[in-house]
Amino acid sequence: MTAPAGNAPVITVTLNPAIDQTITVQALRPGTVHRATAVRRNAGGKGVNVASCLADWGTPVAVTGLLGADNAAPFEALFAAKGIADLFVRLPGETRVNIKIADLGSGDTTDINLPGLTATADAMDQVSETLQRLVAPGSLVLLAGSLPDGLPDDSYAALAADLHAQGARVVLDSSGAPLASALAEGAGPLPYCIKPNRHELEAWAGTPLPTHADLLAAARDLHGRGVGMVVVSLGADGALFVADGPALHARLPAVTALSTVGAGDAMVAGLIAAFRDGLSTEGVARRAVAFATAKLGCFGPNLPGADAVRSLATQVQVTTL
């Protein structure tokens, strides 16, 4: 895998960002009154979270997408604090708020995603123009998250085709119809990398995938069609990595989790950081899983110091399948 030339920034695209409001309770019991033990608000959305983790790693990163002008302050504060280049297109109105209820007793998180902005074709044209200015051959570009109201399901497929024509390597982290459209036969060049979880891959395949063998078969099918690397995230069980050569299973080292929110986004940040450095498939697996593991010890879209992440990478258990 070849790293892009120079010190060009990684670019993340988030068309439907969110302010993540995480409410922690001792035990979630539906239909009863709860007293929260903590409340946190973070600027979020998949691409924003990935950019935040990459900035912590020391990677130059620029962000674009669609952002509500009326409550942009949390995003602007995050970007300023971490030195992230803010190229978001502002739209009238408010960015959506996602409520996450963290159950300390079970360790589970319940998500309630509120409605967001309605996008326009003009706004998407502005995002495309921003990308045209930024992208150079070899650039790593992440297209991440859901699509806002007003955009067709093939929006990521169209962006990916334009970016591929400019020589960019596209990492896609989405689900449902936008993912299916980008992977459809005849959609154009397929992404350089995708990172579905088990449920997202099952939805794409249209069938349950209960075993590692089932997941591997689906991932190998996608790789055979042209996706450079398929990474299937498995939560506490780590992830499967399918690229040229043998498939790998990388497992998380045992850590105490302060928050599982955003661990998948941290894994994507690790993938991109590894691609940027031209690591082998095993190196990609170790770094991606180390990023996800390191995130478990932090609240919000943050990583600890680079030395701690590198130490975790040496502890990741990698098995050839």
Instruction: Check whether 69 has a pLDDT greater than 90.
Output: yes
Instruction: Check whether 6 has a pLDDT greater than 80.
Output: no
Q: How many residues does the chain have?
A: 321
Cα gap 30→138, rounded to integer Å = 49
Would you state the pLDDT for residue 5?
42
Amino acid at 53: C
Would you state the pLDDT for residue 252?
84
Would you state the pLDDT for residue 239?
97
**Residue 3 pLDDT level (bands cut at 50, 70, 90):** very low
Active site residues: 265
Would you state the pLDDT for residue 1?
45
Would you state the pLDDT for residue 224?
96
| Separation of CA 85 from chain center | 18
Q: Which two tokens stand for residue 206?
A: 């249209």
Tell me the mean pLDDT in the region 100-112: 90
Cα gap 2→10, rounded to integer Å = 14
Instruction: Check whether 4 has a pLDDT greater than 70.
Output: no
Q: Which of 35-44, 46-55, 310-319 has the weakest average pLDDT?
A: 35-44
pTM of the full structure: 0.91
Give residue-wise pLDDT tens across range 137-176: 999 999 999 999 999 999 999 999 999 999 999 999 999 9
Residues whose CB falls within 8 Å of the CB of residue 29, separated by 6 or more in sequence, listed in order: none
Tell me the mean pLDDT in the region 196-217: 96
Give residue-wise pLDDT tens across range 208-253: 999 999 999 999 999 999 999 999 999 989 999 999 999 999 998 7
